[in-house]
Structure 1
Amino acid sequence: MIAVDWGTSSLRVFRLAGDGRIIDSRHSDNGVLAAAGRFEQVLVEQIDGWDDALIVMTGMVGSRQGWHEVPYVDCPAGLDEIAAGMQRLQSHRLQGRDIWITPGLSARRSGDLHDLMRGEETQVCGLLEDLPPGEHYLCLAGTHSKHVRVADGRITALSTLMTGEMYEVLCQHSILGRLMQPGPHHEAVFKKGVDLAAAGNDLLADLFAVRTQGVLGYVNAAWLQSYLSGILIGHELNVIPAGTRSVHLVASSSLQLPYRTALARRGFNVVVHAESCAARGLHALAARRGLAGVAAT
């Protein structure tokens, strides 16, 4: 089986054994935005030499801007509901392959407000078999971080925090970025930002502290990015419900350290999971759907 995690800015493909073990993997920057209008060609090139009959894809490839739009499934939802929402895709250049795309998830916040995720739910599916019965809290860090609640194997609620995108916008297109100079991550300054966010002030007020601390010389210009990162991640963590003790973290190698640091500083027990849990999730969904060549889990 070939598992495809196709996001907005990146494409990751995994070749899996029948039991879900990762045999091989490849990565490229041909995300949905870069591959627009040529999805078939990009996938053919990415899996060149892999002759597996089954291909299962997740992420923005199933969005309105992707290859084929697959409707959202309402929460609460577990493997059964998500697998039932998968749709088959026809491909001229991949004739003879059995190609599927998974749905995203929709959760009601309040009134007519909803939250959405597409791709991250597959990462959660890859963790479900490792989570004991009961309630669990997950943080999937990224450009748009997802905070997910799981109860007895089902996703019951989710929220989206635009932490990563806000960081990029403020660094590149705001007055805050004009003070910044390139520099390595500074853990002590990062923690100061996390602590400021925990004080209960408004985010918009805390953001201007990046400028004041830089102008007045309290924070070196090369460390202002770390300070801003701490403030934004710290405010993201403010949404975690009181009484939560453990947080399951899924993050890339570049985000794992700051998120682990921030969560630990807030007193949470942090359980770290690899991003490859998306491949496990696709295998679990394929097995639940009963697709050929996939061993039941």
Structure 2
Amino acid sequence: MNPSDLLETPALFALDWGTSSLRAYAMGLDGAVLATRRSEHGVMHLPAGPDIHSPAAAFEQALQLLCGDWLAGHPQAPLIACGMVGSAQGWREAPYRPLPSREADLAGAVTLVERPGGQPLHVVPGLLQDGELPNVMRGEETQIMGVLQSRADEGRTPERLLVGLPGTHTKWAWVEHGAVTHFETFMTGEVYAALTQHTILGRTMVLGGELDEPAFARGLRVARSPLGALGVLSTVFSVRTLGLTRQLTGGAQSDYLSGLLIGHEVAALTPTLRDGAEVVLCGEPVLCMRYASALEAQGLPTPEIRSGVTPLGLWRIAQAAGLA
């Protein structure tokens, strides 16, 4: 067996192929992750060179550079991927699935990418919520399936669940009997980055320090108070004025802004969050903790936090597709 990091024969190779990075998981017969690898060859950062003459060749080269030895050593193992690899800018577009959707619906709509001399790549579709204001997700649907699988492994299968996925474009997805039935998108992370880097608010900020918890809590408090009733476009200028009046230091302003934005997001959702569904936050733990604080500040129960569930979601979909 060539690759020394595989001590068992893999049953599945799973890829989380996003915009900026590519993660590969070798998975065993029971769905356990045997080994993980990561590269910077996301969809927007593919290899280039004189021998790469097409986008398909660039995708194949990225795959070979990361785990070509895995694929060559275990040619029988199926290959599945989620994320932006299935977007219009990806290897091949995997059309969105309508709601409601569960793992069987995603599995039945995978898009095949034929690879010369190797297993085809099965690309998981994203989800489309049609309507006057359409909404889409791509990659998060697999995280949701991973949350469901991780809880099923513990014998927990609630009829209704609300999954929050904090990030650049935060998603909130309602799941009923294992099917995603509705979701909302908040561009909170991207707006935070834009405001800190490209507006006057960032001129007085000192970024990169430890979390200033009082400043963050102050932002949450303003967002849910009568002062926040006019909305985030009204309160966000207070980042500057509290700095000018020396009520917030440069190092505290970014955390106050984070509290404001997350606080407004959670405040907007609070009426629906009180409907009794269990809440699970899934994503980077530090960011999830900020959202947990925002939920608690609204008087809501402390949510469960899960991370690293994408391979479980890919395993669940692969099982439904008969690949694992």
Q: Indicate whether the TM-score tops 0.5.
A: yes
Residue 264 of structure 2 is aligned with which of 219, 227, 235?
235
Residue by residue, what CA displacement relative to the aligned partner does 1:188-247 show, whole Å, maximum 9, x if unpaired?
110111111112331101111111111111111111110111111112212421414542
Cα pair distance change 1:262/1:106, threshold 3 Å: same
Secondary structure of the residue aligned to 1:14 is strand
CA distance in 2, matches of 1:64, 1:283: 24
Alignment partner of 1:113: what SS? coil
Q: Aligned pair 1:211/2:240, yes or no? A: yes
Tell me the amino acid that sits aligned with residue 234 of structure 2: A
Instruction: Find the counterpart in structure 1 of residue 15 from structure 2.
Output: 4
Aligned: 1:224 with 2:256 = no
Q: Which residue matches 1:168? A: 193
Q: Which residue of 1 aligns with 2:6?
A: none
Q: Which residue is equivalent to 1:264?
A: 296
Query: How well do the aligned residues superpose, as a CA RMSD in angstroms?
Result: 1.6
Aligned to 1:186: 212
Which of 44, 48, 58 aligns to 2:82? It is 58
- Deviation of residue 255 (structure 1)? 1.6
Provide the rounded CA distance (Å) in 1 between the counterparts of 2:174 and 2:319.
23
Q: Distance in 2 between matches of 1:216 and 1:104?
A: 47
C-alpha distance in structure 1 between counterparts of 2:261 and 2:223, whole Å: 8
1:132 aligns with 2:152: no
**1:81 is the counterpart of 2:105:** yes
Identity percentage of aligned residues: 36
The structure richer in strand per residue is 1
Which among 61, 64, 68 is matched to residue 41 of structure 1?
Answer: 61
Q: Distance in 2 between matches of 1:242 and 1:33?
A: 36
Query: Quick check: 245-254 or 153-162, which moved more?
Result: 245-254
1:203 & 1:279 partners in 2: Cα distance?
36
Structure number with greater Rg is: 2
Aligned to 1:96: 118
3-state SS, counterpart of residue 237 of structure 2: helix
Q: Which amino acid aligns with 1:234?
A: G
Q: Specify whether residues 244 and 179 from structure 1 end up closer, same or farther in structure 2 by C-alpha distance, changes over 3 A only.
A: farther
Structure 2 counterpart of 1:268, which letter? P
2:280 partner SS: strand
Give 5+ residue unaligned stretches, structure 2. 1-11, 48-54
Match of 2:322 in 1: 290
TM-fit CA distance, 1:257? 2.7
Structure 2 residue matching 1:48: 3-state secondary structure: helix
1:113 is aligned to 2:133: yes
Amino acid at match of 1:201: L
Distance 1:168 1:260 in 2: 21
What is the distance in 1 between the residues matched to 2:144 and 2:249? Answer: 39
TM-score, length of structure 1 as denominator length: 0.92
Counterpart secondary structure, 1:100: strand
1:47 aligned counterpart, secondary structure: helix
Whether the aligned pair in 1 keeps the contact of 2:126 and 2:139 (CA below 8 Å) is: yes
**1:46-70, CA deviations, whole angstroms, 9 ceiling, x for partnerless residues?**
1132134311000011000111101
Residues 285 and 305 in structure 2, CA contact (< 8 A), matched pair in contact too: no
1:198 corresponds to which residue? 224
1:243 partner amino acid:
R
CA distance in structure 1 between the aligned counterparts of 2:310 and 2:223, rounded to whole angstroms: 31
TM-score by length of 2: 0.84
